């Protein structure tokens, strides 16, 4: 009996399987007007047939096993099917992939810069606890360098830092390294013995400084950077213990730093701080040190700041003549390295994220349109038993392919953009070069890019799910158009969002371009064309400031250069024009009312040669300029600029006035004013012309300015030949034209304006594509409605206005919302603006007009196509 039952069950099961297969084949032979592929959901159809047959032998365990097999086996099928669907819709696929590539590529490039400058770990131990410590002065914006004696007092009295270290970071700290047959000018840094231990840097070779290296008879030792070790010594490991010649003085190499361990990164040779000149170590009038401090565990930034401010107030009471009104400024090490780039990077990052949002909104609109045209296919899938999870998996396969391809192309685009970004950032003053070089694609950046792709894929997969039909019967009814004539507010909301974002990016781009235009129109006060700048550092102790040997060297050099047919004039000063300078001095106006201790005025000071004013093109307003006899006789004469005369000599004849110098000494020097020259924006065109005092004379360090009648760099061989004639081993360095200096001083503003301009054009383009796509789709879906309207008497002009009115609605909403967000964003970016209001009316009008023009152009073409619809053909198609 049992054998007969088994045979019967086996026969019934085989018959059931045949009927199930027949049912599946019947379902798969079905075709809808949406042309569903023949391999659509065979497992779903099998499961549906099994359940509808209701055979008692089909247990719940078998159905569960069927579901599990469906989940595992359907992944490959969904991916293959998604590829086929995307291949059939090449226009949609290419548009979506390129849109995502542009958005993701721009975001990846800017995020790479933001990661390197703002997020990447610094190559120092617990760098987040290292602070830069600066002095503040009423007449200096931001922090200033520190006096040596103040630094010593800070070290003894502070209670917030494990260590406090100092180094001299002046750009003029250079020495001549004597090689076999020539000299190389190298960047030197005087550092306290605990600088590298504070940073947590262990030398690659040898050792760092120890306390004994500060002893007067043992301080001629040097530590090399890795780059200097490789450049000048060929990475020779036997360099340790070798004696090298710096400024004709012997120094012993004791160590080599690791590749990323140099601080400051521009340094090449580090020497003990005890080699600083004695005057700077004994007087409170020179400010030449940069100071770092490492916070103790448990001490936060606010506590350290309060501690240092207390010490500053104490020093102001003890030394009122030099320290009154002088405070302390603490800056985290990263902010110190990034300099003025932080607000620029954050602004660029915010704008590029907005561009990415526009790109995503465009792709979302494309997917919504695509899902609406495939609504019947989705209904058939659900009728055949497809669950919402299975539908989501299918949509995810398609969107994931789009996002991955877009991300891959975007990453390639970013990789080719990064070298240009590094060049742009490298010309921004105040930014550490090592951070600039670290701007590159790396694992964290690629992870963020991958995360963006995955997130957008999941988000885009949910959009068609939200549009899934609720009533399958309505969706499957032949000729039904209820789902197509329905107004779709989500697409209009997405386009309004795109327009609002585009307004923000366009307004910021226009605002920064306007700011840069105003900055670019500022006259520096002198001619920058055909003007060459280079630096010379005479080796000590053979030369000293204002000695006959130093004066004689520069006088002979300038006379030699004048004889060249390509050189019109030459002069010297102490700092490169248009570069920030803290070369300042305290003074008093002779005959003026006395001032309280510590309230002495302080302004820019320059030592210049007699031909400096003629070479620069500064106009003499009153009196005379310096002559060679003024230098030879060490005359105590002063020339001031107009800004100085207007601020301090108002109501007086400048040529009968005198200035008191060395006012902190027991015997101030009285120096008469012999001339007034025109103003020069010596510290940069973005600042007002500062009052300046000019003295005659030469120093061991000089900036040589040469006016030529041809390409300035073409006379370099003659300059080198003239220098070698007087000192064969003396190099020249920092060779650049003043046009290049001016361009570098504007590099940050120019870079931001260009990038934001590019982002604005990209945002406008994407917004135009989005508007065009939505209007085109709306016209296609409302073809029957338009036909009925025209059949009832509507003219082509009315149809055109009807479509344009729809475009104007979401455009107007987007513009209004965008303007509010744009004004708020501009307020956050106000630090980047130059003489430009955050509510600049020109930028506002340009943004509105530009967006409206783009919106009209994007809407006119599909609207014109709608006006040309033949009502008979439109109604017949239904």
pLDDT (tens digit, 9 = 90+) per residue, 82-136? Answer: 777 778 777 777 888 888 888 888 888 888 888 888 888 888 888 889 999 999 8
417-451 pLDDT per residue, tens:
888 888 878 777 667 788 888 888 888 888 888 88
Question: Which residues make Cβ contacts (< 8 Å) with residue 433, sequence separation at least 6?
Answer: 265, 266, 426
Strand, helix or coil for residue 34: coil
How many CB atoms are located within 10 Å of the residue 316 CB?
Answer: 17
Q: How confident is the model at residue 384 (pLDDT cuts 50, 70, 90)?
A: low
Upstream peptide bond of 659 is cis (omega within 30 degrees of 0) = no
Q: How many helices (H) and strands (E) does the chain have?
A: 29, 23
Q: For the purposes of burial, counting CB atoms within 10 Å of the CB of 870, is it exposed (0-12), middle (13-18) or buried (19 or more)? A: exposed
Q: Are the C-beta atoms of 668 and 661 separated by less than 8 Å?
A: yes
Q: Which residue has the higher pLDDT, 776 or 344?
A: 344
pLDDT at position 9: 47
Do residues 113 and 106 make contact, with C-beta atoms less than 8 angstroms apart?
no
pLDDT (0 to 100) of residue 15: 47
Which residues, 6 or more positions from 667, have their beta carbon under 8 angstroms from its beta carbon?
Answer: none
Helix (H), strand (E) at residue 328: strand 327-332
- Cα dihedral 165/171/177/181 (nearest 10): 160
Look at residue 373 in the predicted model and tell me its pLDDT: 59
Residue whose tokens read 């209820």:
482
* Size of the chain in residues: 878
Q: CA angle, corner 251, sides to 250 and 256, nearest 5?
A: 150
Phi, psi of 599 (to 5 degrees): -105, 15
pLDDT of residue 12: 42
User: Is residue 254 within a helix (H) or strand (E), and if so which, with residue range?
Assistant: strand 249-256
Residue 11: count of CB within 10 angstroms of its CB: 10
Q: Which residue is listed with tokens 């009925």?
A: 788
Q: Higher confidence at residue 588 or residue 368?
A: 588
- Rg of the chain over CA atoms, in angstroms? 38
Report the C-alpha gap between 797 and 864 in whole angstroms. 9
> Which residue did the predictor score with more confidence, 784 or 610?
610
- pLDDT band for 775, please (50, 70, 90 cuts): confident
Residues 816-830 have pLDDT tens digits of 888 888 888 888 888
182: left (phi over 0), alpha (psi -120 to 50) or beta: beta
DSSP notation for 564-603? STTEEEEEEESS-TTS----EEE-EETTSPP--TT---EE
Compute how many other C-beta atoms are within 10 angstroms of the C-beta atom of residue 69: 12
> What is d(CA 373, CA 367) in angstroms, rounded to the nearest whole number?
10
- Containing 604, the helix (H) or strand (E) segment is strand 602-608
Name beta bridge partners: 535: 703, 733
Listed range (73-77, 161-165, 671-675) with the worst mean pLDDT: 73-77
The string of DSSP letters for 656-715 reads: G-EEEESTTSSSPEEEEEEEEE----TT-TTSPPPPEEEEE---SEEEEEEEESS-GGGG
Q: Is 72 exposed, middle or buried (0-12, 13-18, 19+ CB in 10 A)?
A: exposed
For the chain, the 3-state helix, strand and coil shares in percent, each to the nearest 5, are 55, 15, 30
Quick check: 306 pLDDT over 60? Answer: yes
- Once rounded to an integer, what is the mean pLDDT over residues 715-735? 87
Cα separation, 443 vs 699, in Å, equals 50
pLDDT of 33 strictly over 60: no
Listed in sequence order, the residues at least 6 apart from 231 whose beta carbon sits closer than 8 Å to its beta carbon are none
Contact 263, 195 (CB under 8 A): yes
Neighbour count for residue 878 (Cβ, 10 Å): 10
Cβ-based neighbour number of residue 734 at 10 Å: 15
Would you state the pLDDT for residue 725? Answer: 87
Task: Report how far apart, in Å, the C-alpha atoms of 684 and of each of 325, 689, 749 are.
Answer: 26, 9, 13
Instruction: Please tell me the distance from the alpha carbon of residue 151 to that of residue 173, in angstroms, as a whole number.
Output: 19
> In whole angstroms, what is the distance from residue 464 CA to residue 487 CA?
16
Mean model confidence pLDDT for the chain: 80
Gap between the Cα atoms of 570 and 531, Å rounded: 9
pLDDT of 36 reads: 40
Pairing of strands 327-332, 269-272: unpaired
Q: How far apart are CA 730 and CA 185, in angstroms?
A: 8
How many other C-beta atoms lie within 10 A of the C-beta of residue 94? 11
DSSP state of 335: H
Query: Residue 176 CA to chain centroid, in angstroms?
Result: 35
Q: Which has the higher per-residue pLDDT, 265 or 47?
A: 265
Share of the chain above pLDDT 90, in %: 21
In this predicted structure, which of 320-334, 512-526, 738-752, 859-873 has the lowest mean pLDDT?
A: 859-873
Between CA 41 and CA 70 the distance in angstroms is 9
Domain boundaries, the chain: 2-66, 138-325, 342-521+745-876, 539-729
| Nearest of 458, 409, 484 to residue 93 by alpha carbon | 409
- Residue range 193-217: average pLDDT? 90
The answer to whether 175 and 188 are in contact (CB under 8 A) is yes
Give Cα 687 distance to the centre of its chain: 22
pLDDT of residue 56: 39
Region of residue 140 (left: phi > 0; alpha: psi -120 to 50; beta: else): beta
Compute the distance between CA of residue 288 and CA of residue 169 in angstroms, rounded to an integer: 8
Let me know: does 505 contact 829? Beta carbons within 8 Å.
no
Residue with tokens 């969107």: 399
How many whole angstroms separate alpha carbon 319 and alpha carbon 307?
18
By CB atoms closer than 10 A (0-12, 13-18, 19+), residue 578 is: buried
Contact, 664 vs 322, CB < 8 A?
yes
Distance in angstroms (rounded) separating the CA atoms of residues 161 and 346: 31
What one-character DSSP code corresponds to residue 346? H
CA atoms within 13 A on the CB side of 225: 20
CA distances from 183 to 232, 661, 671, 727 (A): 11, 38, 39, 10
Over residues 760-771, mean pLDDT: 82
Q: Please spell the DSSP secondary structure of 137-199, one letter per residue.
A: -TTSSS-B-B-HHHHHHHHHH--SEEEEEEE---TT-EEEEE-SSSEEEEEEEEE-TTHHHHH
- Nearest to residue 377, comparing CAs of 33, 765, 89? 33
- Mean pLDDT lowest among 235-249, 463-477, 538-552, 798-812: 463-477
CA pair distance 562, 715, nearest whole angstrom? 12
Q: Which residue has the higher pLDDT, 640 or 792?
A: 640
Pairing verdict, β 290-295 and 269-272: unpaired
Percent of the chain with pLDDT over 70: 81
């Amino acid at each position: 009996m049992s054998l007969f039952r088994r045979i019967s069950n086996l026969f019934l099961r085989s018959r059931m399987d045949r009927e199930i297969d027949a049912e599946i084949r019947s379902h798969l032979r079905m075709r809808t007007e949406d042309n569903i592929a023949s391999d659509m959901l065979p497992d779903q159809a099998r499961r549906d047939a099994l359940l509808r047959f209701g055979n008692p032998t089909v247990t719940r365990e078998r159905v569960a096993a069927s579901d599990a097999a469906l989940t595992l086996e359907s992944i490959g099928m969904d991916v293959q099917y998604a590829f086929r669907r995307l291949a059939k819709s090449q226009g949609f696929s290419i548009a979506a992939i390129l849109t995502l590539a542009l958005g993701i590529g721009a975001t990846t490039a800017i995020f790479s810069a933001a990661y390197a400058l703002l997020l990447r770990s610094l190559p120092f131990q617990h760098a987040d606890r290292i602070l830069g410590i600066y002095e503040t002065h009423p007449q200096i914006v931001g922090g200033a360098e520190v006096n040596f004696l103040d630094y010593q007092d800070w070290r003894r009295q502070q209670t917030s830092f494990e260590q406090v270290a100092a180094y001299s970071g002046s750009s003029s700290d250079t020495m001549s390294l004597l090689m076999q047959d020539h000299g190389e000018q190298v960047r030197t840094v005087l550092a306290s013995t605990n600088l590298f231990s504070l940073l947590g840097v262990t030398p690659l070779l040898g050792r760092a400084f120890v306390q004994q290296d500060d002893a007067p008879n043992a301080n001629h030792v040097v530590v090399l950077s890795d780059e200097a070790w490789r450049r000048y010594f060929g990475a020779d490991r036997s360099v340790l213990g070798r004696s090298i010649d710096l400024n004709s003085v012997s120094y012993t190499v004791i160590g080599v730093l690791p590749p990323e361990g140099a601080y400051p990164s521009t340094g090449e040779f580090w020497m003990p701080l005890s080699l600083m000149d004695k005057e700077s170590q004994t007087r409170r009038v020179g400010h030449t040190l940069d100071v770092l401090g490492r916070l103790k565990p448990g001490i936060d930034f606010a506590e350290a700041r309060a501690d240092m401010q207390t010490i500053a107030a104490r020093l102001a009471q003890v030394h009122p003549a030099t320290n009154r009104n002088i405070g302390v400024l603490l800056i985290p090490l990263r902010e110190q390295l990034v300099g003025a780039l932080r607000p620029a990077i954050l602004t660029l990052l915010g704008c590029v994220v907005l561009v990415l949002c526009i790109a995503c909104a465009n792709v979302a609109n494309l997917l919504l349109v695509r899902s609406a045209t495939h609504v019947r296919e989705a209904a058939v899938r659900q009728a055949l038993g497809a669950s919402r999870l299975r539908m989501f998996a299918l949509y995810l396969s398609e969107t994931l392919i789009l996002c991955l391809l877009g991300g891959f192309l975007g990453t390639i685009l970013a990789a080719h953009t990064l070298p240009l970004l590094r060049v742009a950032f490298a010309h921004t003053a105040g930014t550490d070069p090592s951070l600039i070089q670290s701007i590159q694609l790396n694992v964290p950046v690629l992870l963020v890019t991958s995360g963006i792709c995955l997130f957008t894929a999941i988000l885009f997969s949910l959009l068609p799910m939200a549009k899934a039909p609720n009533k399958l019967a309505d969706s499957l009814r032949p000729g039904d158009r209820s789902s197509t004539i329905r107004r779709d507010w989500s697409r209009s909301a997405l386009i309004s969002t795109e327009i609002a974002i585009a307004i923000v990016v366009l307004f910021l781009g226009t605002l920064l371009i306007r700011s840069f235009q105003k900055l670019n129109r500022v006259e520096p006060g002198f001619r920058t064309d055909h003007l060459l700048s280079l630096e010379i550092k005479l080796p000590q102790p053979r030369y000293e400031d204002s000695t006959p040997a130093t004066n004689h060297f520069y006088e002979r050099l300038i006379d030699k250069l004048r004889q060249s047919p390509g050189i019109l004039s030459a002069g010297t000063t102490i700092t490169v024009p248009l570069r920030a300078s803290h070369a300042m001095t305290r003074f008093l106006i002779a005959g003026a009312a006395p001032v309280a201790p510590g309230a002495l005025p302080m302004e820019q000071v320059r030592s210049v040669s007699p031909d400096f004013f003629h070479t620069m093109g500064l106009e003499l307003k009153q009196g005379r300029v310096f002559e060679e006899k003024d230098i030879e006789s060490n005359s105590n004469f002063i020339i001031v600029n107009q800004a100085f005369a207007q601020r301090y000599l108002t109501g007086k004849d400048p040529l009968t006035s005198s200035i008191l110098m060395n006012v902190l000494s027991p015997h101030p020097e009285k120096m008469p004013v012999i001339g007034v020259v025109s103003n020069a924006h010596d510290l940069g065109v973005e600042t007002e012309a500062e009052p300046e005092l000019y003295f005659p004379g030469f120093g061991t360090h000089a900036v040589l300015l040469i006016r030529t009648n041809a390409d300035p760099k073409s006379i370099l061989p003659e300059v080198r030949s003239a220098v070698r004639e007087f000192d064969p081993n003396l190099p020249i360095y920092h060779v650049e034209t003043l046009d290049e200096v001016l361009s570098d001083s504007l590099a940050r503003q120019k870079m931001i304006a260009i990038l934001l301009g590019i982002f604005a054009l990209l945002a406008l383009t994407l917004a135009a594509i989005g508007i065009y796509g939505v209007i085109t789709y709306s016209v296609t879906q409302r073809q029957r409605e338009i036909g009925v309207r025209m059949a009832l008497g509507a003219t082509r002009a009315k149809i055109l206005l009807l479509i344009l009115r729809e475009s104007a609605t979401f455009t107007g909403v987007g513009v209004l919302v965008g303007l509010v967000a744009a004004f708020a964003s501009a307020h956050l970016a106000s630090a980047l603006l130059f003489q430009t209001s955050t509510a600049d009316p020109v930028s506002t009008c340009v943004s509105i007009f530009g967006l409206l023009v783009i919106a009209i152009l994007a809407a006119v073409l599909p609207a014109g196509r709608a006006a040309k619809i033949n009502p008979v053909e439109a109604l017949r198609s239904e």
